Amino acid sequence: MSDFAVPLAEIQARQATMQKKLQESGIGALLVVQRVDLLYFTGTAQNGFLYMPAEGEPVLFIKKYLPRAREESPLSTVVPINSVKELPGLIVDYYGFLPAVLGLEFDVLPVKTFNFYRSIFPVKDFADASRQILEVRMIKSGWEIAQMEKTAELSRDTFAYAKAALRPGFTELEFAGMMETFSRRHGHGAHLRVRDQQTEAYPGHILSGRSGGVVGLLDSPASGEGTSAAFPCGPGSKLLAVDEPIMIDFSAVMNGYHIDETRFFAIGSMPERANKACLAAMEIHNEIMERATPGTAVSELFQFSVSRAAALGYQDQYLGPPGYKVVFIAHGVGLELVEPPYIAQDRSDLLEVGMTFALEPKMVFEGEFSAGIESVFVVTEKGGRLISKTPVEIFIVDR
């Protein structure tokens, strides 16, 4: 165990904000099950359930491990249970009644599990409280920003290691493993949390030369350069070589808080076309942060980035080749690697102080290479401020 602990004042502030949203939504109480949400509202990710009424103090019910949960969580009421079936009766014991409407995390709760809860809780109705939970979580406190800055230091050190260790002859997959090994030795938590059940995350995404210009399925195994034929994604068996762009997209996590960064490297020299494209992406990256002020519509920022890419001569390559373009340039990041809000084409959100984003203006030159950058920033009253500590530059390594 480490000395990491979520302060009581932090937990209380989160609870107060969540309870206000429950009251506004007509939800009588919230039952938190998902482990990231549990950590957020209780300070522990032990196997348990948080019951948070719309008014009053919450109770944390723990199946296991109770001693650690009591040590980690600053909540005053942390009690043991042997079975989930005990919950309705225990809630009545503590509060005198069950709510008419019980909120659950519908976005991550399996249907089978929901049906089980429905069978044991004799409430009038159930409601999806996932939107309200994510709305609370997407505004980061100063304490959370400080945790992300600690992770950013780890990410910076890992990229510095990459620059020192990068040599021709390593495979993409091998070098990704080297970076992860270094980062694990210095505190990387390894498990990247992603809410979407169809998405899998891993720390190192390294694509060099034409590997970065592949759209859809990567090269077949017969080429000697593809990744797994079953799940073709990420670094493969292609050898890193001199005088080609090397994209390193690395995600770090410490004490639950993520940083997601991309920097471009080259051994010897960066080809001129790739160099110019990376510099153009950095220009867009910096201009977006300048405009990321409270009240700005995220769709406006997205459209501005598209217009700037076109003005710089990269309309066809920006955010993917024609027909395969993504519709966002930034995703929220925090206790999960990808979380709301998003700077995207079809979003109506307005920026607020405390929102954190992984901003990634990237370009794909189909069949040739990719270019771009990704950094984490927080919205402040004056615009975006970098949380990332890795220099915003192209890394050139001597042969």
> How many percent of the chain have pLDDT more than 90?
89
* Exposed / middle / buried, residue 382 (Cβ in 10 Å: 0-12, 13-18, 19+): exposed
Checking DSSP bridges between strand 257-267 and strand 395-397, what pairing results, if any? parallel
Q: Which residue has the tokens 């190192």?
A: 204
Q: What mean pLDDT value characterizes the chain?
A: 94
**CATH architecture designation of domain 142-397:** Alpha-Beta Complex (3.90)
Question: 264: closest CA among 252, 274, 255?
Answer: 274
Per-residue pLDDT, 223:
39
Is a pLDDT exceeding 80 seen at residue 215?
no
Is a pLDDT exceeding 50 seen at residue 222?
no
The per-residue pLDDT for range 343-386, each reduced to its tens digit, is 999 999 999 999 999 999 999 999 999 999 999 999 999 999 99
Cα 81 → chain centroid = 32
Is a pLDDT exceeding 60 seen at residue 182?
yes
Of the CA atoms within 13 Å of residue 46, those in its CB half-sphere come to: 22
Is a pLDDT exceeding 80 seen at residue 184?
yes
How far apart (Å, rounded) are the C-alpha atoms in residues 272 and 43? 49
Per-residue pLDDT, 214:
77
Cβ contact 108:34 at 8 Å: yes
Packing angle between helix 272-291 and helix 298-311, nearest 10 degrees?
Answer: 150
The per-residue pLDDT for range 70-98, each reduced to its tens digit, is 999 999 999 999 999 999 999 999 999 99
What's the fold here for domain 8-137? Answer: Creatine Amidinohydrolase; Chain A, domain 1 (3.40.350)
Cβ contact 314:342 at 8 Å: no
Per-residue pLDDT, 217:
39
Say whether pTM exceeds 0.75.
Answer: yes
Question: 18: closest CA among 190, 105, 133, 169?
Answer: 133
Domain residue spans of the chain: 8-137, 142-397
